[in-house]
A and B are shown apart, each in its own frame.
Chain A
Amino acid sequence: MNAQVINSMPDAISKAPPEEMVHIATDQWTQPFWDAAKQHKLVGAKCGNCGKFRLPPSPMCPKCHSQKIDWVHLSGEGTIYTYTIITRAMSPAVEPYIPYVPAVITLEGGGGTRLVSNIVGARVGDIAIGGKVRVIWEDHKDGMTVPHFELVPG
């Protein structure tokens, strides 16, 4: 790991971005992922023919073009692949949510697929590439649920 990396706002606790920032849109291929999220379950889209995982779920497997998907329940554990610390709000309404930390998470059991999410409730200085994380769920007022991740101690 690169010892020179020092995170901005190291003593702050990372927040969740405002849920009003986006309203999740779905189609028939992504709907099962968000349906599972509502049940607080993290699932991966695995090709029902060749077994290749893909994220986001798209209409066909890029390897074999099969449209069959096995929705695999994942452990919810993962590893931080990379992250950024948002230290400045793009609009005034976002200011109370600073800092938040978008991160790319390699999902355990996900065949190498990565999910873009947030590290929340963590001391920012403790966030690092390679860090172990676990999914937690945020239920939104619009009925959708999104995955966030917390640091796994140790």
Chain B
Amino acid sequence: MTIKDKTAIVGIGATPYTKRGQSAPQTMEELIAKAVLKAVDDAGLKITDVDGFAYFAGGHDTSLLTEILGIPEIRFTATLTGAGGGSAGALGLAASAIVGGLAKTVVVVCGVQQAVLRYGTYSSSHPADPYSSFYLYSGLVSPGQAFALLARRHMHLYGTTREQFAEVAMSTRLNALSNPAALMKKPMSKEDYFNAPMISDPHCLFDFCLETDGAVAAVVTSSERAKDLKQKPAYILASTHGGDGNWGRSLYWFNMPDDLFTSSGHNTVAKQLYEMAGVGPKDIDVAQIYDHFTSQVIMQLEDYGFCKRGEGGPFVASGAIRHKGGSIPVNTDGGQLSCAYIWGMSHVKEAVEQIRGTAVNQVKDAELCLVTGGPSNIPMSGLILRR
């Protein structure tokens, strides 16, 4: 028995996206509660129907949300371990609760709210434990720096170029331009990309995702119940999470075998996902690929079989991920690079809209949409929604 096709996303809700620090004076709980109410309303349900929460990336406080929202009873509350790697998998967590009979209506919600300025003293910003000490002392203090080490090795082994990273940034920006909700409003040329400041070579500013405040929520219920609700259901065809033991702590470890080092760590998750879904990469119509860094979009395209290992650079350069004319349109809302960064949940929202046929950059007759969670330490995660 698997969760295949037994549940659906029936409601989706988001606060407006703002640049980091600009959601104040709203509080984090307020942003989350607003997103939940919107998602429940979108589904045609009442908040009193909600009986479960599923989270990732540390999660939120269900007891507080229950108090704020006036939820009569909680029957399921759980958080996938890890960080942004769990976004797509949190939908699977919700689905397993429903299939297992623990709850009927589970909301997956994630909010991000950051201070206006990131500045702090080094020691308070980067508390070390015995394991993190082994990389933090090298001054490797941000994910963009850590992933640059993988990107550099990928360039070395396969000849991947910054022009190819640029194509990911430009293609995604183009999608953002026609999305009113997206934060980035200006076109990006190749010249703009190469004029952007280098941050952690080979990653320049435009290889990094945005820093955003906001919250996104998705309501999951059984496929049977979904049929009678307000929206066209986005069926959860499959969702998996985890990772290869040899990938493990990856970005904090750097001892992965050579063939895994230059990857997104999604290899086993992708295999299990396609197996559960009974489909392959050729069947996917549109993909929302966790884009914290352009280089990792390329490596995920390889891990999900849209091209061979090492060929992700030429693949994107061929125009394959463009909304117009691409064989697999990627991050059609402008992604985390140019729309908003809500730990992967904006990708879930866009996937639901593609399946409903209501996306701003709609892929015609999209039947299957892939969503990935962030390449990170275990777990990574994947999700396939079907019409």
- Residues of chain A having any CB pair with chain B under 8 Å: 1-2, 4-5, 7-8, 17-18, 20-27, 29-30, 55-56, 81-88, 90-94, 97, 100, 102-104, 113-118, 129, 146
- Residues of chain B having any CB pair with chain A under 8 Å: 118-123, 125-126, 128-142, 145, 148-150, 152-153, 155-156, 159, 161, 197-203, 254-255, 261
* Contact of B198 with A23 in the complex, beta carbons under 8 Å: no
In-complex Cβ contact of B119 among A8, A25, A92 (8 A): A92
In-complex Cβ contact of A25 among B121, B130, B145, B150 (8 A): B130
The number of A-B residue pairs with CB atoms under 8 Å apart is: 135
CB distance from B365 to the nearest CB of A (A): 40
* Residue of chain A at shortest CB distance from B139: A17
Assembled-state Cα–Cα distance A92/B145 (Å) = 17
Interface centre among A56, A90, A113, A114 (most CB of B within 10 A): A90
* Contact of B156 with A21 in the complex, beta carbons under 8 Å: no
**Chain A neighbourhood of B203, CB < 8 A:** 84
* Contact of A4 with B161 in the complex, beta carbons under 8 Å: yes
CB distance from A117 to the nearest CB of B (A): 6
Q: Chain A interface mostly helix, strand, loop or mixed? A: loop
In-complex Cβ contact of A102 among B128, B133, B140, B159 (8 A): B140
* Contact of B148 with A84 in the complex, beta carbons under 8 Å: yes
* Residue of chain A at shortest CB distance from B160: A2
Assembled-state Cα–Cα distance A123/B41 (Å) = 60
* Contact of B134 with A91 in the complex, beta carbons under 8 Å: no
19 A-B residue pairs with CB within 8 Å: A1-B156, A17-B139, A18-B139, A20-B121, A21-B126, A22-B123, A22-B126, A23-B123, A25-B132, A25-B133, A82-B150, A82-B153, A83-B149, A85-B198, A91-B119, A92-B119, A93-B122, A102-B145, A117-B138
* Contact of B135 with A116 in the complex, beta carbons under 8 Å: yes
* Contact of A2 with B153 in the complex, beta carbons under 8 Å: no
* Contact of A21 with B139 in the complex, beta carbons under 8 Å: yes
In-complex Cβ contact of B152 among A83, A100, A114, A116 (8 A): A83
* Contact of A26 with B201 in the complex, beta carbons under 8 Å: no
* Contact of B201 with A85 in the complex, beta carbons under 8 Å: yes
**Chain A neighbourhood of B121, CB < 8 A:** 20, 93
* Residue of chain A at shortest CB distance from B121: A93
* Contact of A22 with B119 in the complex, beta carbons under 8 Å: no
Query: What 4 A-B pairs are tightest by C-beta distance, nearest first?
Result: A17-B139, A84-B148, A85-B201, A82-B153
